[in-house]
Amino acid sequence: MGVEDYHAIELVGEGSFGRVYKGRRKYTGQTVAMKFIMKQGKSDKDIHSLRQENEILRNLKHGNIIELLDSFETHGSFVLSLSSPK
């Protein structure tokens, strides 16, 4: 999957690392949170840490942790598709 498989519906938050949008998977209609983490201004060490954190999140399954559904990289950002909080 990639960013083309999602619709970003509305901006719900913004911080120093990037933006979070309410989104929807195109083919299932599932509502998700889409976190865009900008690569610009990040060191190689920061990029490496983001990739490691992504792998950790991928394996975490707990009722109190929002589930990572999908993740991918674009030229300018990391994109995390997260289960929408209930």
Query: Binding site: residue ranges?
Result: 39
Annotated binding site for ATP: 39
Element (H, E) at 7: strand 6-14
- Which residues are CB-contacts of 25 (< 8 A; sequence separation ≥ 6)? 5, 6, 32, 81
The residues pairing with 32 across neighbouring beta strands, listed in sequence order, are 23, 83
The residues pairing with 38 across neighbouring beta strands, listed in sequence order, are 77
The residues pairing with 77 across neighbouring beta strands, listed in sequence order, are 38
How is residue 2 written in tokens?
Answer: 């990639």
